[in-house]
A = this chain, B = another copy of it.
Amino acid sequence: MAKKKKSSVKRKSTKSKAMVYYFGKTKTDGDGTMKELLGGKGANLAEMTSIGLPVPAGFTITTECCKKYYDEGENLPKGMEAQVEAAVKTLQKETGKKFGSVSNPLLMSVRSGAMVSMPGMMNTILNLGLNDDAVVGLANQSGNERFAYDSYRRLINMYGDVVLGVDHHYFEAEFDKVKQKQGVKLDTDVDTQGLIQLCDLYKKVVKKHTGEDFPQDPMKQLYLAIEAVFGSWMQHRAVRYRQINEIFGLAGTAVNVQSMVFGNMGDDCGTGVAFTRNPSTGTNKFYGEFLINAQGEDVVAGIRTPQPTEEMPKWNKKVHKELMDIKKTLELHYKDMQDIEFTIEKGTLFMLQTRTGKRTGAAAVKIACDMVKEKLIEEVEAIKRIPAGDLTQLLLPSFDPTAKKAAKALTVGLPASPGASFGKPAFTAEEAVERSHAGEQVILVRKETSPEDVDGMHTAAGILTSTGGMTSHAAVVARGWGKCCVAGAGEIHINEKTKKFTVNGKTFGIKDVISIDGSTGEVFAGEMKTIEPKLSGDFSKVMKWADKYRTLNIRTNADTPADAKRARDFGAEGIGLCRTEHMFFEGDRITAMREMILAETKKDREAALKKLLPYQRKDFVGIFTAMKGLPVTVRLLDPPLHEFLPHDAKSQKDLAGILGVKPAVVKQRVAQLHEMNPMLGHRGCRLSITYPEILVMQVTAIVEAAIACRAKKIKAIPEIMIPLVGTKKELSILRELAEKTIAEVKAAKKVRANLGITIGTMIEIPRAALTADEIAKDAEFFSFGTNDLTQLTFGYSRDDINGFLPDYLGQEILERDPFQSIDTNGVGQLVEAGVKNGRSTKKDLKCGICGEHGGDPASIFFCHKVGLNYVSCSPFRVPIARLAAAQAALS
């Protein structure tokens, strides 16, 4: 949204706009709503000033200036300097201080501040304004010569590094020399003379490496510093940070120029940071830390250990009380938990920053509920405020934060399925099953997984793959189960034969425990302590609120009664995708399945299918029972048959033995079914066109199961979904066959009642979306299979995307992995067209989504916008979807 708005801002309009916004006692130009223009920090400094909080005066240069800076080939925009000068004049007047003054010099901090916080990613310069004169002034004014020169040397160092590009270690080297000379070890032990000398040495370093003198003109210092802040917007780490955090469409960073206050002028000074409530648990208790006689940077740097703010009264009761009052003021004003920075200069408290505090999912839920109770906010506001995606944290185990802090990750893969787990590596699915049954806790470690591996994946405590993306087989299946999975950890090299893997020079075998964090993609050596989740009453309350406002229905993707039940407990209102292929892998089934695939004649195929029928029927009875009274969309067999066949010689031989044919026959048939691009091959409804008997068996199982449930007074509502339709005719033929089968089963079972079975299709082929008006004639519902639709619309194979995805994200070709969050520009056009075209034929056509996107908040917003009836997602994402759907409805 922000992006669109931005791009419509024309250059002309920015020309006439103010580029500099002052805040202070004299006047305050901005306010807290102007984050887009002034950045989060700038807007809040203005806002805090307005509501009377003690904020050092200053001004903010707009984000638009940053944009113009780049638009104009990295030159400060015309007219800006005049506005800056005027603001500096006002500031000098208000503070009574003067740039470069030997009596009362004006010193300033220059800080970045975009609309969205990017902590530590951009440049800051402190003590700006110091020069050979002003340093004397500062010494006079503070009565502390050592402090003055320490401030000066810090400026030269920071300025040299950040603005002039002189490497930090050149300054370090000089400092070391001085310390050596003075025979001391700590910076703080160097005396005033040493620091005076150091300032000279530092100036020489600048001269040597830049060819120019350290600028003595404070205005020049200021302009160069502003440019440096602008420049930091596009430096690599900042760009990367925005990508990782999916921050897009910002104009640039603002620059906050503020008169300095010092927390390091003596023991009546200090600095601190705090959250107005506990950001980890959400408890309504001020949660801060402070350091006496220190600058803000010292708290962050972690050199000295700060004290909790509870200890502050012992040091300065008045300041503590002021801080507690400010907490109240801020929360009353902002109606949210705040993350603040403050400084105490000679016993006077100054606020340097306030912003909405980041919090864990659990804290978000608790704070929102508490604030409703405290009547600070309304229910609707509470719903809007909880980041839906963060709810996952509440539902899955995680690593003990303390343990994790101490450990170093071996490598980082993709956070494919959240949760945390540990175990010993198993290198094949069979091994995982065997060792699990023998009581071991194993992590299945594979290059990639295939449907053959599901048994092993299910018994393993977690899954780690070296290839494959966020929607690879491993990732999708694991998310469905809520099982922890790290995928595509490309630095891991697996040797299945020797049962070992190596990662960055270290080797792990079947005896070496590893821990994997599916929420971050981290892999650790050894066993790490995990914490089990507990669901609070607040969580239920939030869910109840969400259900009140959302209009989208939430279904789940589930293939087993257990998954179905879990999803129902999480609030799923039906199954949007019940895949039938996983059902064929267990025990005897796979043999019958393979028999069916290898059959040479329709008769043999039907004989094999007859063996599968009772299994399928039983599966469906289980699922319909778990979901009684709610709809269950059953997708008919989808993957290419090749996936069900054994690929190694031994398994082929075993199968040949069972089937009573020569191994060569099995081998040949497997080779024959091999496809160059199985994703685009003989699968989905194409199978039923070629082998209608497969559809007949599956539909028979569905109908028989529905009838069996009916007999037990269990209300089954099956919806038969025909996958991979690209033409109307495919659906017409298969729909007719399915209807005929339903009628035949009913006749055979002597059932006359309407079973209410509907027939629909997945829209996952671009052509289906484009011709949805035709297809809708034979469909009672559409379910958008946005996984395959994304593959085809982009021409990306989910299994192979890792070959270039990192480059695509790195170069901002893609804003995010399109398999995680729907590409509204491209794929979205097809979804929208599909809905529109389909409903042009059938006004009330039920439309849903069953791709992985169904559990992604941004995608859910899109689904709401284009008028879908429901989204379907993996069980553990159901709460996320409920909340995101409410947020979409309220937005």
A residues adjacent to B (C-beta < 8 A):
675-682, 686, 689-690, 724, 726-727, 729-730, 733, 764-767, 770-771, 788, 791-797, 799-800, 803-804, 807-808, 811-814, 823, 825-827, 829-830
Contacts and interface: CB of A to CB of B under 8 A. Distances in A.
B830 A799 contact: no
Given A676-B799, A767-B794, 14 more contacts: A677-B677, A679-B797, A680-B795, A682-B803, A689-B808, A726-B794, A726-B826, A727-B814, A765-B794, A766-B766, A766-B793, A766-B830, A767-B795, A771-B825
Contact of A811 (B689, B767, B794): B689
Given A679-B676, A826-B771, A795 B788 contact: yes
A826 B826 CA distance: 16
Given A726-B794, A826-B766, A678 B676 contact: yes
Counting chain B CB atoms within 10 Å of each CB, the highest count among A677, A807, A826 belongs to: A677
Contacts of A808: 686, 689
A493 B681 CA distance: 21
Contacts of A766: 766, 792-793, 795, 826, 830
A266 to B, nearest CB: 54
A680 B677 contact: yes
Contacts of A807: 689-690
**Among the interface residues A792, A795, A803, A808, which one has the most CB atoms of the partner chain B within 10 A?**
A795
A811 B734 CA distance: 11
Given A770-B829, A794-B765, A813 B730 contact: yes
A690 B804 contact: yes
Nearest to A679: B677
Nearest to A729: B813
A814 B788 CA distance: 21
A681 B800 contact: yes
Contact of A680 (B729, B791, B812, B830): B791
B676 A812 contact: no
13 contacts: A675-B799, A675-B803, A676-B679, A676-B797, A677-B680, A677-B797, A680-B796, A681-B803, A682-B803, A690-B803, A690-B804, A733-B811, A765-B793
Q: Counting chain B CB atoms within 10 Å of each CB, which of A681, A729, A799 scores highest?
A: A681
Nearest to A799: B676
Contacts of A791: 680
B827 A767 contact: yes
A678 B681 CA distance: 13
Nearest to A764: B795
A689 B813 contact: yes
A676 B472 CA distance: 11
Given A767-B827, A800-B680, A807-B689, A793 B794 contact: no
A571 to B, nearest CB: 34
Given A679-B677, A765-B795, A807-B689, A770 B830 contact: yes
Given A726-B826, A791-B680, A675 B800 contact: yes
Contacts of A797: 675-677, 679-681
A680 B791 CA distance: 8
Nearest to A691: B807
Contacts of A681: 797, 800, 803
A703 B689 CA distance: 51
A765 B678 CA distance: 18
B677 A678 contact: yes
A800 B770 contact: no
Contacts of A727: 813-814
A879 B705 CA distance: 62
B686 A804 contact: yes
Contacts of A827: 767
Contact of A792 (B678, B764, B795): B795
Contact of A793 (B682, B767, B800, B812): B767
Contacts of A764: 795
A813 B774 CA distance: 13
A682 B800 CA distance: 7
A770 B730 CA distance: 25
Nearest to A674: B800
A886 B149 CA distance: 87
Contacts of A726: 794-795, 826
A682 B467 CA distance: 14
A799 B677 contact: yes
A336 B803 CA distance: 61
A686 B729 CA distance: 36
A826 B675 contact: no
Residue from the set A726, A764, A808, A811 with the largest chain B CB neighbour count within 10 Å? A726
Contacts of A823: 767
Contacts of A771: 825-826
A448 B770 CA distance: 33
Nearest to A728: B813
B793 A689 contact: no
A706 to B, nearest CB: 28
B676 A795 contact: no
A788 B794 CA distance: 11
Q: Which 3 A-B pairs have the closest CB atoms?
A: A680-B797, A767-B826, A682-B803
A804 B684 CA distance: 11
A729 B677 contact: no
B724 A795 contact: yes
A808 B730 CA distance: 9
A800 B799 CA distance: 18
A764 B792 CA distance: 11
A799 B682 CA distance: 11
A827 B799 CA distance: 25
A808 B770 CA distance: 20
A801 to B, nearest CB: 8
A771 B796 CA distance: 16
A93 B596 CA distance: 67
A830 to B, nearest CB: 7
A882 B827 CA distance: 37
A280 to B, nearest CB: 38
A758 B675 CA distance: 38
Contact of A813 (B733, B812, B814): B733
- Which of A730, A733, A765, A770 has the most CB atoms of chain B within a 10 A radius of its CB? A770
A764 B793 CA distance: 10
Contacts of A804: 682, 686, 689-690
A597 to B, nearest CB: 13
A766 to B, nearest CB: 5
A680, A689, A770, most chain B CB atoms within 10 A: A680
Contacts of A686: 803-804, 808
Nearest to A681: B800
Contacts of A830: 766, 770
A607 B730 CA distance: 52
Contacts of A796: 680
A803 to B, nearest CB: 4
